[in-house]
Amino acid sequence: MAGEPQDDCLFCKIVAGHVPATIVRETETTVAFRDINPQAPTHVLIIPRAHYKDGAALATAEPALAADLLREAQAVADEEKLDSYRVVFNTGAGAGQTVFHTHAHVLGGRGLEWPPG
């Protein structure tokens, strides 16, 4: 069921504390941790504690929680002292989503070209 933890979800396991992660911020509704395969000097993932398969599902079901992710992106950027940064939501396997639990990538610390590729 949407919003409920999934036994086979890596990010649900991180939220539950069953899988280690380098956590940089936590709130009542979100967890932010360093990506294990960083694509920039700063690469932090922000996830909701509730399980939704992607950003669109989250925004439809809980727009306030989607807004929490974006607020946390700014908080991470502030803590990492990023003057500019990119926030990315991959939606679907064809777009590079490999864990089907909503997550925002916060990337910064280097020039980011456009289009991203």
DSSP designation for 86: E
Q: Which of 77, 74, 116 is nearest to 96 (CA)?
A: 116
Radius of gyration of the chain (CA): 13
Decide if 18 is catalytic. Answer: no
Q: Which helix (H) or strand (E) holds 60?
A: helix 55-61
Strands ordered across the beta sheet of 23-26? 23-26, 30-34, 42-48, 104-108, 85-88
Choosing from 51, 101, 103, 105, which is the catalytic residue? 103
- Contact between 15 and 47 under an 8 Å Cβ cutoff? The reply is yes
Which residues are part of the catalytic machinery? 103
